[in-house]
Amino acid sequence: MNVIKKQAFLSTIFSYGGVLVGFVTQFFLIGNFLEPAQNGLLAVLLSYMYVLVQLSSLGFNAAGSRFFPHFRNAQKGHNGYLFLGLSVGLIGFLITSLGLFLLKDTIIKNEENSTLFADNFYFLLPLTFATLLFNLLDNYAKNLYDTVTGTFLAQFLQRLLQLVAILFIIFQIVDFQQFMYLWVFAVSFYVIPMFWKATRLEGFSLKPNFSVMTPTFSKEFGFYSFLTILTGFSSMVILYIDKIMLAGITTFTETGIYNTASFFGSVMGMSLLAINKAAQPLIADSFASNDLDNISTIYRKSSITSLIVGCWIFLGIYLNIDNLFLFLKPEYSAGKTVVIIICLGKLFDLATGLNGTILTLSKYYIYDTYIMVGLIFITVTLNYFLIPIYGMNGAAFALAIATIYYNLIRYLIVWWKLGMQPFTFDLVKIIILSITIGLTISSLPTLNGNKIMTVADMAYRSITLTLVYGVVIYWSKISPELNGAMKNTWQQIVKFVQ
């Protein structure tokens, strides 16, 4: 647990530092200096890219995480793990690139969006290849218990470079089409320092070594990889199909508004993402040694910590939502409902903790495949029927419902097959405390007037929320891990002041 706490703490710091940079970039800069349709283009390119990356990996990263204990041997270059991953990734990239060329006309089908999308369609290739390679190297480092580097590069550095790219267009140094080259570079650059870091880890080798790949193990590894292609693809579907279908059914303008609003949901998920990256290799090792008690402890604590942080962020968003949208172009105000719907769905995701990670790393991983195949059908169907009726709100409803569906089913299967479940009365306490604090702070007087008064209103509400919420959570002793982190942080502040 000490390894998890240290790695998760550092990852969380970088994640939320990146969130701050991303928030400034996505919400204030892109929301004000790009047209909503251009915002929608960026969202659609990233959405397609993540789906293509998942397909191109051919399930190797997920299988590599589960079976890495079989490869781990620094003296032998981890038995050719990276060579195998690079080979599989290159084959997958060539296959998906061919499919992309063949399906180009089908993908670019909305007449209103076709010119904007067609002019930038082939940026998908460098974006996909760079992200595919980064994911392989990040996964390799994560399996060697370095989860911080990848988080720093993906969550902070990448977003910082995107902010710099936006500044070029704000100061009219480049036009939009020139900006697109800068943006693609900003999104792709992180693979270079990630490769350098991977070479510094003990046992780095790109030499082939197939000694581990016995016929029996190869069959098991290949079967798991095949299943995780489906599960991984389904995960990408739930995360990105809403933007893809929204752009196809409506316009890039509406997609751009939705993209900015949905950013808040990703902010809420940062804490669980950091915990997941830190816990995944330990859970894999615990399964290898049959230490189910350790997994159960990680499961329970991840749920409590994630929900505490998630409720705090949700309250901050909810209490300031009207103020936040005053800083955007008027058309973006249509996204307020999207924010609330997506964030409520995300709270259920946080409450169920690491259910997906535990299930996919267990011997019952095939159940996750069934869940995800069902998820594809449910998500696409919900978007297909809800978007034409409710527009971007329909996409938000579809995402929230799908999030609740797959987390609920995963929770039930982990409980049924492994006898683990994260829910305790502490979760009820967190929800009750959060509702009480939220209602109390929402009754505070509003500072009306110009934008300076709006900033002041946001500041005093956010500071009040943080202080009250932090004191109540600390006093309740619901999470010893967070109490320890808050105590250490306070001691560092006092030491700095003195």
The DSSP line for 140-162 is: HHHHTT--HHHHIIIIIIHHHHH
Closest CA to 399 of 26, 31, 47: 47
Q: Which residues contact 398 (CB under 8 A, 6 or more apart)?
A: 242, 379, 382, 383, 386, 387
Mapping DSSP to helix (H, G, I), strand (E, B) and coil, where does residue 190 land? Answer: coil
Closest CA to 136 of 93, 75, 95, 74: 93
The total of other beta-carbon atoms located within 10 Å of residue 86's CB is: 16
Residue 364 tokens, joined: 């019952």
Distance CA 57, CA 177 (A): 30
Tokens 């508004």 sit on residue: 257
Report pLDDT for 479.
Answer: 83
Distance CA 156, CA 189 (A): 12
**Inter-axis angle of helices 215-249 and 392-418, nearest 10:** 160
Cα angle, residue 173 at apex, residues 170 and 179 outer, rounded to 5° = 75
pLDDT in tens, the chain (498 residues): 455 556 656 666 776 788 788 888 888 899 889 999 999 999 999 999 999 998 899 888 888 887 888 888 888 888 888 999 999 999 999 999 999 988 888 888 754 566 888 889 999 999 999 999 999 999 889 888 787 888 889 889 999 999 999 999 999 999 999 999 999 999 999 999 999 999 998 888 888 888 888 888 888 888 888 877 877 777 777 778 899 999 989 889 999 999 999 888 877 877 677 677 677 778 888 888 888 899 999 899 889 988 998 999 999 999 999 998 988 888 899 999 999 999 999 999 999 988 988 998 888 888 887 888 888 889 999 999 999 999 999 999 999 999 999 899 999 999 999 999 988 888 999 999 999 999 999 998 888 878 789 889 999 999 999 999 989 998 988 888 777 777 776 776 666 566
The total of other beta-carbon atoms located within 10 Å of residue 224's CB is: 21
Rounded alpha-carbon distances, angstroms, from residue 157 to 89, 126, 255, 331, 489? 24, 18, 25, 30, 24
Distance CA 421, CA 205 (A): 40
Report pLDDT for 498.
Answer: 60
Report pLDDT for 1.
Answer: 47
Report pLDDT for 111.
Answer: 47
Distance CA 352, CA 10 (A): 23
Mapping DSSP to helix (H, G, I), strand (E, B) and coil, where does residue 73 land? Answer: coil
Distance CA 323, CA 116 (A): 32
Task: Please tell me the total number of residues recorded for the chain in this structure.
Answer: 498
Report pLDDT for 8.
Answer: 59
Report pLDDT for 75.
Answer: 83
Mapping DSSP to helix (H, G, I), strand (E, B) and coil, where does residue 58 land? Answer: coil
